[in-house]
Each structure stands twice: as structure tokens, then as C-alpha cells.
Structure 1
């Protein structure tokens, strides 16, 4: 898939101060979203505008010993499904890097979220303009794992990422201070590891997460943290004009598998199609179930208009018994 990312780079230097690199990048996306599920929401239209504008600021400097020290912060505004728009700044992420090792502190990326094969190879990393619910994820779309938060506090953790040749290892840890009542219990705590290896046009990925005090489900009479014992595996290949990824995930709530394929049509068009099959564990109490049991599928079409602008259209059919269809179309531009 052809992706164009333009970044504005400024070099700032003053007397007695080391040179620092400042990069500003981002994207905008906007379009129409038709969501059949809104039929059941009184006062909410089935057709709405979906949009997002994002600016990312990256800064870095280098010590005399060749160690890079830097940070990232992001501003974002968005609106979807007719809801009031949301805007804000992210919490910062800091990093120290040397050779193939990078350590992030603060608003971390997260080992699970960084696993190759988790997301689709599209502008939204899901379907359509804004991901359309991310029903393609084998891990489910509850996002019970650490990820960089674009307009909020983030997870405030620490992670180490090491890359050498085709190998990448990623270890992340985060903990929230305190429970609902200060001092009464620990907050949400996650430890995750991801290992990935690419060789030629192929890659394989494996990831695992341990979680405590997260979103809860009831399974076989016991209250469990939904993101605990999360396992994810993926394998994929790029055959030039075509590509495919098979991913599998197991959580306390469900097992799921996703098959995704993509094809380049001509010089500017790309189609990505996927199907997901989710099997809810029979021991999960229905009242605490958050995922849909069954099969979901979708298709995403993109046309490169040049200049960093892409036309995007998507269709998703969820595993819901009714009101399962949604369609989006619009433009995405990066800079």
C-alpha cells in the first residue's frame, strides 16, 4: 500500500544549546458515516459526519555520546455518530534511544498495540474513515491493553523496544495509582511482551499480557479482569500486488481469528477485505459480556489521489443479530 507522510522538520539551535530536531506531522480525515445501529438511538441520525484532525509534535536531541533523548505530544479533535466533538492534548511521551534500543516513559505505545498483524494496513488501520468500530481485531474492540492516547492522560508507563535485523522485542508495563477509594486497592496494572520477526516478505508475531484490576467480566462464577491472560499471534506475507494476514487471539472472554487480504488494483487503488470469527466462552455471564459472538466481515477501498490525499470507502457487517451494517466514505490527507 502506498502511503505518503510529509513531516515539517525544523532545526533549532542557540548559543550554548545543543541542536534539537523538531518534527510536526499529522493528518486530517472527514466523510459521511451511515450506521444502521443508530436506528435504536432516539434522536440520533443514522447518517452523520465523521472527522478527525491530528497534529503530532516530536522533538529529539543527541548527547555527545550518541544517545538520543526526546519526547512526543499530540493535539487532536474529532467527532463521530453525531456526538459532540472532542478535542484535547495528549499526555507526553519521553524516550531515550541508543543503537537498536529505545525506552519510552509516560504515554507509552504498549506491547500488544504495537504487534504487527493486529491492525489492518489501511489509513485508519481499521475499515473506512475512522475504523468503523475495529471489528477486525482478533483481540476484540474493547482495547483492554495499553496504547498511546491521543487526547488524554494515557497509561503513564514504561516500555523497552529492541530491534536488530528482522527481530523486534517489546516489553511494556503500566500502573494506575490507587483504586476508586484512595488507598483501598491498587489501580489498573498491565505487563505485556511482544516478539516479532520478519524474513523476506513474511512476518510472525506473538504477544502476551498480564492484567490486574481492569474492566471485569464474570466467568464460571469468578470475577476476572478482561485483559488478563491475553494472547495474540499473527503471521503474514506480502506477495507484491497481494498480501494476507492471519491472526488469532485468546482472552478471558473469547477466542477469535481474523483473516485479512489486500490487493493493489492498478497504480492507485487498494482493496482490503477481512473476516472475523469470535467464539464467546460458554462460562461468561451474559450480563458482563462485551463482545459479539459470531462472524463479522468488512471491505475497505482506497484510491491515492496524490499529494498525500486518499479517497476512502468502507463497509462493515458486524456479528449483531440486527442493525449490523455500516458504510463510510470520505477523504484522508496526511502531512
Structure 2
């Protein structure tokens, strides 16, 4: 689909100073979201706990989902041809009838020369950058907002490094090298250690136990040849649930058709996703997928989920989007969304 970039560019050209460039881009999305009740009770009916008191209430069966995002990119180039720049993002959203808080991201800085780029700060992450991990849709999932991203072959709750709009992110470092059809990506992040009270000291300074912050190292290798690609990624972590995370995908385009097979393995579950897309005429695209997951631990996904996404390009960066998902839940809970996505 054609993406129209509306950018504000500031060029500063003075003697002895390289040109600087500032761009503003982003997108907005809004639509209706219908969800099946999660507890078998009518929506908005409070469940009663063991004492007879109301506990968790369902979200509205039909609500509005929306997001507005602005991305600010700035860069300059040294006399030796090295690009130095940074990125920051602002975002506000609403889901399931609950208005979200507007957030500013932590910054990402980069230095690039030739095919090598090094990012510092709010990094992208090697796993999150793997081709074939996400769907080829406006939300990179199903529907307006991804609808739970049941299509992902890795089902550990996004416990890998990724650029985030909400706060500090992982605050790491990564290197990306691309030449021809090859891309290599390695990322590293380390959270601060924490100190938790052990409850044994009643004095003014309580005894504390040091809890080591999570340390992640990930690598991704990808190669594209013509209309086809193959990619593999792996994450090592000192947190067992996020350690030995693996991903592999192959895919390609066959004229108006496309297909991807991806496999993910985690401590919680192993799963495989088959996704296919077809272009209908010049403006319509349908993406359908099915994911099968085998649960390894109580927290893992288990069973089969499937979904379908339809998009119609209205021109000017505006796309009509509709999607439906049946999740991995025991009763295969269903969700449907429809709305508009516009990029600038």
C-alpha cells in the first residue's frame, strides 16, 4: 500500500556545518471493537467473589479503540559522511472503553555509516525486527489495534526488546548491518538491579535482598532473495521465562499472493503460524492466518487461534480496516473490529 509521508523538514546550511534534517510523521486509527464476554456472563455484569462481593467487571461488549501517534526524527551528517540522529515519539490511545494516558517515549540515538547503524537508548530489538514476525497489515496484527496479536508465533507477552512509546523502554544498545539481501542485528539491554525488603528488620533501615535486573542479548539474521526471505532469531536472558527464545520464518510473494510460515519457541509454549495474503484488484488486500500452540507451562498459550483482516486503500494515506479473531482461550473467544487508519 502506498504510504504518504507528511514531513516538516528544517534545513540548516551554514559555512562549515552539515545540513540537519527534522521530520514529523505518524498515524491515527479509530474504530469499533466488539468482544465476546470473557466469563460467560452478560457484558458489564460483575462476577461475585467467594464472599459475594463484586470483583472483576467485563469491558463493554462494543467500545471504541483508537490511537494517535507522532514520531519526531532528527539527523545530521558529519563532514566524513557519518549520520548522527535521534528519535522520540508521542502517543495517546484508548482501548476497551478505557481512555489511555498520553505518553512520550524515551529517546533513541543512532550513528550510521554505510550499511552499519548503531542505536542507543530506546532500541528496536533484534527479535522485534525479525521479518515474518508480524503480519503485513497497517496494525501489523489483525484489525485496528492488533486484537491481542494472537498471530505471533512467539507467545511470551512481548518479553523481548522493542521501541516503546510508554516511558523508558529497555534502554539498550544494538548494531544493525545490511548489505545486499543480508541483514544482521544484535541487541543488548540490562535493567537496574532492585532491592526488596526481606521483612526481618523492623528498624529504620529494613534488611533488603538484591534482585538482579533482567539482562537480554538477542541476535537476528535475515536474507532476502528476489521476492522471498528467510530469517532466524534467538534471545538469551537471565530470566528463565524469557531465556532460549527462538524464532524462524520463511516467506515470499507469488504475484498477487503471499505466504509466510513462522515458528516460535519459548519456556511457556511452542507455536507455528501460517499466514497468507491476497491482493484483490488495485486497492483491496485480505490477510488470513492460523496459529497452533502447544503449552509447556501453565502460563503458555495452548490450542488454535485464527483470524482474517481486510483492508481497502482509500487513497491519501487513508485505509479502511476490518478484522476478526478467534483466540486461544478455552472457549475460543471472538473479537471483531472495523475502522479507519490514516498515515502522514
Q: Which residue of the other structure, out of 288, 295, 315, is the alignment partner of 1:280? A: 295
Deviation at 1:245, TM superposition (A): 0.2
Structure 1 position 186 matched with structure 2 position 186:
no
Deviation at 1:7, TM superposition (A): 3.3
Q: Which residue of the other structure, out of 122, 129, 134, is the alignment partner of 1:119? A: 134
Unaligned runs of 5+ in 1: 214-224
- The count of aligned residue pairs is 317
Pairwise mapping of residues 122-141 of structure 1 onto structure 2 (< 5 A)? 122-140=137-155
Q: Which residue number in structure 2 is paired with residue 219 of structure 1? A: none
Deviation at 1:183, TM superposition (A): 7.6
Distance 1:43 1:255 in 2: 30
Q: Which secondary structure state, in structure 1, belongs to the residue aligned with residue 331 of structure 2?
A: coil
TM (normalized to structure 1)? 0.91
Q: Which residue number in structure 2 is paired with residue 208 of structure 1? A: 234
CA contact (8 A) 1:74 1:151 kept: no
Deviations 1:13-56 (A, max 9, x none): 16565321111100000000001145475263111000000000
Shift in CA distance, 261/173, structure 1 to aligned 2, threshold 3 Å: same
Deviation at 1:180, TM superposition (A): 4.5
Structure 1 position 311 matched with structure 2 position 320:
yes
Q: Which residue number in structure 2 is paired with residue 196 of structure 1? A: 222
Larger Rg: 2
Distance 1:67 1:47 in 2: 51
Q: Which residue of the other structure, out of 318, 333, 336, is the alignment partner of 1:327? A: 336
Unaligned runs of 5+ in 2: 48-55, 197-207
Distance 2:74 2:329 in 1: 44
Distance 1:121 1:51 in 2: 20
Deviation at 1:86, TM superposition (A): 2.0
CA contact (8 A) 2:156 2:268 kept: no
Deviation at 1:185, TM superposition (A): 2.7
Pairwise mapping of residues 60-139 of structure 1 onto structure 2 (< 5 A)? 60-139=75-154
Distance 2:331 2:4 in 1: 39
Deviation at 1:4, TM superposition (A): 1.1
CA contact (8 A) 2:275 2:288 kept: yes
TM (normalized to structure 2)? 0.89
Structure 1 position 269 matched with structure 2 position 284:
yes
Stretch deviating more after TM superposition (123-132 or 174-183): 174-183
